[in-house]
Amino acid sequence: MGCSEVNKTTLGTYVLREEACQWWKGAKLRLGIGAMMVTWEMFKREFLRNYFPADVKSKKVVEFMKLEQGNMSFAEYAAKFQSLCAFSPYYNTAEAEHDKCVKFESGLRPDIKHLIGFSEIRNFPTLVAKSRICDEDGKARSSYYKAMTEKRGKGQDRGKPYGDKGKKAVESSGTKKRNNGQCYKCGEMGQKSFECPKKVDKCFNCGRLGQRSDVCDWKLTCFNCGEEGHKSPACKKPKKTMGKVFALNGGNADQVDNLIR
């Protein structure tokens, strides 16, 4: 609403409360001026000097120039941009509309920026509205694909109990088969040498416990010729003919008469 300079000062000082009211009383005494002599510019200068010093303003300007959306929601980013923009008078002029849009767009998250950037919107209210729509559409898209992924995952898990059962059966069978092996240490079945509880070795040559085959004094004997030093498969002497038993009847007894003479 329209308000004269005198009325601005009157209204401005009227709304001061508690500590601010005490500050203004002290400021008038320090300046040596009366209430009727205070202009709006004087009041504004003194007020900002006390409650918004130059170093704080500089920090706000730097914060605005470095502002990016990051982990903030779009609504939070837009609100903070508008709040900090008030400390940079240049961006609040009509001539800076283009630069203001570029600054806002550059701080958006990549997932929103790549959807809105190619449009090159240089009207600030329109840019904010379109960016909000892109943000909401992106969230809806993410929720949709997340739900689809979870649905597919539940469908795959439905058949797992049967698959696991077969897998366990195969593993159990394989484990049982491995456990049926012979221990190289004691010669017993169903265990491995490193699991063997027995402290003594078993000779692979004679089968006796307490010695190894390389120091065994048992002499190798051929079952074919009876000589020592080799086995029957390697024996060079003629193979012995084993005794045979024939079932004879009266019809062919004369043909094998020579077998019993």
What pLDDT, on a 0 to 100 scale, did the predictor assign at position 67?
96
pTM equals: 0.49
Question: Which 8-state DSSP code applies to residue 193?
Answer: G
- What are the 10-residue block averages of pLDDT along the chain, 261 residues in total? 77 87 86 73 88 89 95 95 92 92 95 90 95 92 88 69 53 51 67 67 69 69 76 77 55 52 48
Q: Provide the residue ranges of all domains of the chain, joining segments of one domain with +.
A: 5-51, 72-153
Which amino acid does the sequence have at 228?
E
pLDDT at 68: 96
CA distances from 52 to 42, 47, 66 (A): 15, 8, 20
Provide the β-strand partners of residue 202: 209
How high is the pLDDT of residue 169? 52
Q: How many residues does the chain have?
A: 261
Give the CA count within 13 Å in the CB-facing half-sphere of 147. Answer: 6
